[in-house]
Chains A and B, each alone.
Chain A
């Protein structure tokens, strides 16, 4: 009897913890899964097609990297109740504030264009014309954000996050060799030796895992959700789960293309989907649906990151909990960013490839600055109190930030001067 009562007590305790987590869950998972945006899916698909399973170990390393960077935004948001843009203005003055805000606006808008490129190319596979995709996406996002509640928006976003898992059944359907995956993928190795091309792929994978908008988005989402200091442990867990989930999806994409398309040069995820369709119709279809979902999730989050940041600085009402009448400028900037980015894709002959490359270069100017500000703000004991970075967190965070800065800079330079990294 005693055994059963203990078991029941433990079950109740665990169930209570799960229910509490489900209330707190959201920002970490949404930001991390949205990080697997259209550009990310292309990078992972190309990595698998080029190197098979050989770089899975490298993707796994990115779990703690993504976690350590993003968990800092949880602490900063929960303690200061300010978004990242406002924290930079307040902490470092107007010069660095404007630099970050304007850079964020440019990077977000360009990234949003790439999300629309991904979504239109994904649905084009099913015969949907680009104008209809752009119109449908804008209408869908309007319905999602205009319901006037952060909670509803977040739960819908989580639903799209779940759809991102579509790559997992896709990977099982191509019947990969599990022993090959473990043998080739889980032992650190550099296929073909360290050369310029491999280095480019490694940098691209890092670049797609940590993007500047993620820092701004998660901190603002933590604030809009109303998370408090006592919620930080759950916020951290949410971020860890999100980091693991995003890399899990990336690994399964690599498994799909590494099994079916090994040795094929992939330029875009939609090209991968079309090639996959030739060998297995459903796997190709899953890839296309996943690409659309990735672009949609990216679009949901990225346009919000900019609007939140502008709202914080200009003093506009900037919460998803407010109706359109109460936060006119917030929603106006949201839809302006969204619609203009969508329209660019519809312009005949628009330099879309140039825009895609330009995103990576501009992002490099914002990411190091945002990361350095993040570390410095987390060391401000006056504001952060007991949530201030511990020395070991500074060492880990500092090492990660330095590595990201060096590698993402080299990536940006390699995009501008491709011949520099050719072996």
Chain B
């Protein structure tokens, strides 16, 4: 079990290493799109957390 877990962790490390650098050219359009996506996802997660807090109350 611990061996499998170690293998999985090693594999994830390999994947992170392999895809460390984004291959797509980071033009200003791409940068703006990714930034907008980050803000959008932050907003969505905040809404979900807010809903979760409301449910708990």
Could you list which residues of chain A lie within 8 angstroms of chain B, going by C-beta atoms? 89-94, 96-97, 313-314, 361, 364-365, 368-369, 372, 375-377, 379-380, 382, 405, 409, 412-413, 416-417
Residues from chain B with a CB closer than 8 A to the CB of A369 are: 37, 41
Some 11 contacts from A to B, beta carbons below 8 A apart, are A91-B22, A94-B20, A97-B19, A314-B15, A361-B48, A365-B44, A372-B34, A376-B24, A376-B33, A409-B40, A416-B51
B16 near A: Cβ within 8 Å? yes
Complex partner residue of B37 from A89, A91, A368, A412, CB under 8 angstroms? A368
A314-B15, A416-B47 known; A91-B33 Cβ under 8 A:
no
Complex partner residue of B15 from A91, A94, A96, CB under 8 angstroms? A94
A129 → B minimal CB distance (Å): 33
Interface residues of B in 8-40 (CB under 8 A from A): 11, 15-16, 19-25, 29-30, 33-34, 37, 40
A421 → B minimal CB distance (Å): 14
The answer to whether B44 and A380 have CB atoms under 8 Å apart is: no
* For the complex of A and B, 10 pairs with smallest distance between CB atoms: A93-B22, A91-B24, A94-B19, A89-B19, A94-B16, A416-B51, A92-B22, A90-B23, A380-B24, A365-B44
Residues from chain A with a CB closer than 8 A to the CB of B22 are: 91-93
Distance between Cα atoms of A138 and B21 in the complex (Å) = 40
The answer to whether A93 and B33 have CB atoms under 8 Å apart is: no
Could you list which residues of chain B lie within 8 angstroms of chain A, going by C-beta atoms? 11, 15-16, 19-25, 29-30, 33-34, 37, 40-41, 44-45, 47-48, 51
The answer to whether A413 and B15 have CB atoms under 8 Å apart is: no
In the complex, besides A92-B24, A96-B34, A372-B34, 4 extra interface pairs with C-beta distance below 8 angstroms are A372-B33, A372-B37, A376-B30, A376-B33
The answer to whether B44 and A409 have CB atoms under 8 Å apart is: yes
Residues from chain A with a CB closer than 8 A to the CB of B25 are: 380, 382
Residues from chain A with a CB closer than 8 A to the CB of B16 are: 94
Residues from chain B with a CB closer than 8 A to the CB of A375 are: 33
A365-B41, A409-B44 known; A93-B51 Cβ under 8 A:
no
Which of B19, B23, B33, B37 has the most CB atoms of chain A within a 10 A radius of its CB?
B19
Distance between Cα atoms of A284 and B51 in the complex (Å) = 38
Query: In the complex, how many residue pairs between chain A and chain B have their CB atoms under 8 Å apart?
Result: 54
A376-B24, A376-B33 known; A416-B48 Cβ under 8 A:
yes
Distance between Cα atoms of A417 and B25 in the complex (Å) = 39
B16 → A minimal CB distance (Å): 5
Complex partner residue of A413 from B19, B41, B45, B47, CB under 8 angstroms? B47
Distance between Cα atoms of A147 and B38 in the complex (Å) = 42
Complex partner residue of B23 from A91, A313, A416, A417, CB under 8 angstroms? A91
Residues from chain A with a CB closer than 8 A to the CB of B51 are: 416-417
Residues from chain B with a CB closer than 8 A to the CB of A365 are: 41, 44-45
Distance between Cα atoms of A376 and B37 in the complex (Å) = 12
The answer to whether A93 and B20 have CB atoms under 8 Å apart is: yes
Residues from chain A with a CB closer than 8 A to the CB of B41 are: 365, 369
Residues from chain B with a CB closer than 8 A to the CB of A90 are: 19, 23
Distance between Cα atoms of A365 and B38 in the complex (Å) = 11
Distance between Cα atoms of A376 and B33 in the complex (Å) = 9
The answer to whether B44 and A92 have CB atoms under 8 Å apart is: no
Distance between Cα atoms of A91 and B47 in the complex (Å) = 29
Distance between Cα atoms of A136 and B29 in the complex (Å) = 50
Distance between Cα atoms of A167 and B19 in the complex (Å) = 46
B15 → A minimal CB distance (Å): 6
The answer to whether B44 and A93 have CB atoms under 8 Å apart is: no
B41 → A minimal CB distance (Å): 6
B17 → A minimal CB distance (Å): 9
